[in-house]
Amino acid sequence: MATLSNHCSGLAKQFILMFLGAVFVLNHVRAADPDPLQDFCIADINASNSIPTNGYLCKARSLVTADDFTFTGLREKGDTVVTGTNATITYALVQQYPGVNTQGISHVRLDFEPGGVIPPHTHPLASETIFVVEGSVFTGFVSHDNKLFTKTLHKGDVFLFPRATLHFQLCVGNVSAITFNSFNAQFPGLLMAANQLFVTNMNHDVLAKSFGSNEAVMNAVNASIPRFWG
């Protein structure tokens, strides 16, 4: 009888562990951005208690018009210049395009002078596609296992940057280039690699040892890298 009781107890423990494991897996599978609970939610960017986490508060539906779903800011090159890179970014993220709030999508337009570059950076919250409208662009990304994938794109070509991978864009050839980039997030986030290391005032001794260099070289690099903002 004791043997049977122990056997049943063992089966019960196994069942409980299997049940808990199933719950963990299901919760893990569901750990993604939820679908919106409404067809649209035009962001009320100027609301006093509006916050970007998980979307902005919704503008009253009675005040919504077709203009809220329209964005004309990508018609022309914007004025956000990436200092020292000969490249300009025009944003159509939720802050500029409130209609994309909760929709999981946003865009940017990139304008490059010949030789212009968007330095290595990541978008921690989104995957990205790049569509070449004019010119030619050399681009690529580094995978999680440190493999570099590169391609020279021409007018009409599309390339994918997987989510959170380090990537870059460089205008090649003798003419300017324009690209239209899309994200699967209303605000993809932006981390410029060089700026993260140097503009944040990270200890230069840490940087010198990380790069196998010395503090004087790190100071020189810090003084010369493009400042993304300003």
pLDDT value at residue 27: 45
pLDDT value at residue 29: 42
Furthest-apart CA pair in the chain: how many Å? Answer: 88
Residue 7 annotated as part of some ligand binding site: no
Residue 28 annotated as part of some ligand binding site: no
pLDDT value at residue 198: 86
Residue 121 annotated as part of some ligand binding site: yes
Residue 14's identity, in one-letter code, is Q
Q: Which residue has the tokens 């000969």?
A: 86
Q: Which residue has the tokens 């690099």?
A: 221
pLDDT value at residue 76: 93
Supply the pTM of this predicted model.
Answer: 0.79
Strand, helix or coil at 230? Answer: coil
Residue-by-residue pLDDT tens, the chain, 230 positions: 555 555 555 555 554 545 445 444 344 444 445 577 788 989 988 776 555 556 788 899 999 999 999 999 999 998 887 778 899 999 999 999 999 999 999 999 999 999 999 999 999 999 999 999 999 999 999 999 999 999 999 999 999 999 999 999 999 989 999 999 999 999 899 999 988 888 888 888 899 999 999 989 998 988 888 776 53
Answer yes or no: are the C-beta atoms of 135 and 176 closer than 8 Å.
yes
pLDDT value at residue 23: 44
With 0-12 / 13-18 / 19 or more C-beta atoms within 10 angstroms meaning exposed / middle / buried, residue 129 is: middle
> DSSP letters along 77-131, please?
--SEEETTTTEEEEEESTTT-GGGTTTS-EEEEEEE-TT-EEEEEE-TT--EEEE
pLDDT value at residue 152: 98
Answer yes or no: are the C-beta atoms of 52 and 187 closer than 8 Å.
yes
Tokens of residue 228, six digits? 């993304």
pLDDT value at residue 19: 45
Answer yes or no: are the C-beta atoms of 195 and 230 closer than 8 Å.
no
Residue 128 annotated as part of some ligand binding site: yes
pLDDT value at residue 14: 57
Half-sphere exposure of residue 224: CA atoms within 13 angstroms, side-chain side:
6
Q: Give the integer Cα–Cα distance in Å for 92 and 72.
A: 9
The neighbour count for residue 130, using CB atoms within 10 Å, is 21
Helices (H), the chain: 2-29, 193-198, 204-211, 215-224
